[in-house]
Homo-oligomer: A and B are copies of this chain.
Amino acid sequence: MINLVIGGAGFVGVNLSDMLMANGETVVCIDNFSRFGSGLIDRFLSHDYFSYYELDCTDEQGLNTVFKNFSDHRDEVLVWHLAANSDIPAGIDNLKIDVKDTFLSTAVILNCMKQVGFKKIFFASSSAVYGDHGGVALRENSGPLNPISNYGAMKLASEAMLSACTESFLELALVFRFPNVVGVPATHGVIYDFINRLRENGSVLEVLGDGSQRKVYLHVSDLIDALIHLRKLGRVGFEVFNIGPSDDGVTVQAIAEEVCSVFGGNPVIKYGSDRKGWVGDVPRFRYDVRKIGSVGWQSSRNSREAIELAASEICQSMV
């Protein structure tokens, strides 16, 4: 199996690549290194099963050229599309960011796949496609889908195009809707932000929103485990899976307290007054994970355990 991992130099990408190469599979990383440089893949460079291309996947000509290198083995190729903008507030401020990085990435990848004859894609989508449903447990076929961030909108746009392409040339489009994923190497997210703020000022932690926001968290090791599990099922067609623990999440307050406890020094936590942390933030979010449960997978950690492990890992890696 040849795994073309687009966005392979990001947080999920390096964890996935690690696991795939441990399985003895070939990994080809395609990444523009726009946010973290090539730092996260440095440790793969000497690995026999690893190669990479520095390329923005919205560069159609460039991506076509890369894809053509694998056209003789097109039936063994699996495309993993993990590339996206990861700064959600920035994408609300500037609409073009998610249009290009979160949606047009998908459009260009699909167009190149069609031309070269690749037929299988795994796509990293998001719980953000659902919008704000006040904590109702959301199923894969729930409606309506009313995203409140442009990031969520462009993930939904990508899903829609994958759905349509499965009607014409794709054999498989497996869509994974992730909640917040935590772990190392941390590149963004609430724990990472909190620790960064504490490193600047260890006596006070200022929190966006009133701390009551409650969401589901998945540890990246569970996410990768789920992806490998789902790949083994050998599905065809267009399929969507929520991936997450089955609990109803943890509050931002609990995360702030956990991070402060791990960081040490007894900082004061100051909360804002808004129910939402920022425009586009879904304050309360819960998954229904019965579908992935029905195919034999469940998360080894709940949200609280994922946060505890990640806080410890991230703190160790940053401090």
Residues of chain A at the chain B interface (Cβ within 8 Å): 92, 95-96, 99, 103-104, 107, 110-111, 114, 129, 131, 140-150, 152-154, 156-157, 160-161, 163-165, 167-168, 238, 240, 279-280
Contact = CB atoms under 8 A, between A and B. Distances in A.
Contacts of A140: 144
A262 to B, nearest CB: 33
B110 A238 contact: no
Q: Give the number of times this chain occurs in the complex, counting copies.
A: 2
Given A95-B107, A111-B95, A144-B143, A156 B160 contact: yes
Interface secondary structure of A, over-half rule:
helix
Residue of A157, A164, A279 with most chain B CB atoms under a 10 A cut-off: A164
Given A110-B95, A156-B157, A240 B165 contact: no
Given A95-B111, A146-B238, 9 more contacts: A95-B110, A99-B107, A103-B157, A148-B164, A150-B164, A153-B160, A154-B160, A156-B156, A160-B160
A114 B92 CA distance: 11
A77 B313 CA distance: 53
Pairs A-B, 7 closest by C-beta atoms: A143-B143, A157-B157, A153-B160, A148-B167, A153-B164, A141-B144, A156-B160
Given A111-B95, A145-B160, A168 B238 contact: no
Contacts of A114: 95
